[in-house]
Amino acid sequence: MKTVVIGESSGASMETVMAVYPRHKEIVDKYIAQGVVVGIGPFNDRGNMAIFNNRESAEQFVTEDPFILEGLIKTYTIRDWNDTLL
């Protein structure tokens, strides 16, 4: 089982997003280095999704991600996902 974090954009400007992005990337890179990120990236509407290989990492990530903490993501959902390909 994997865990997915789906974030909905607050509508922040691209300028604001890019100002926060370096700090967001630091957190993302930390979780990638731990080997717990399966996939991560934006949707066309500036929302985003991250797939983790365990729920604990997903729950910890949302407590650290500047996109969430600074309001660029207005809401997020954490969902367990049964990846049937593996």
The tens digit of pLDDT for each residue in 61-74 reads 999 999 999 999 99
35-53 pLDDT per residue, tens: 999 999 999 988 999 999 9
Q: Quick one: DSSP state of residue 34?
A: T
Domain count, the chain: 1
Give residue 76's domain range: 2-81
Report how far apart, in Å, the C-alpha atoms of 55 and of each of 18, 22, 45, 60 are.
Answer: 28, 25, 25, 9
- Other Cβ atoms less than 10 A from the Cβ of 60: the count is 16
Whether residue 70 lies inside any domain: the answer is: yes
Give the list of residues 6+ apart from residue 49 with CB closer than 8 angstroms, or none: 4, 5, 6, 7, 39, 40, 41, 43
Residue 42, beta-bridge partner list:
48
CATH of the domain at 6: 3.30.70.1060
Q: What's the pTM?
A: 0.93
Whether residue 29 lies inside any domain: the answer is: yes
Whether residue 77 lies inside any domain: the answer is: yes
Q: Do 42 and 28 form a contact (C-beta atoms < 8 A)?
A: no
Whether residue 16 lies inside any domain: the answer is: yes
Whether residue 86 lies inside any domain: the answer is: no
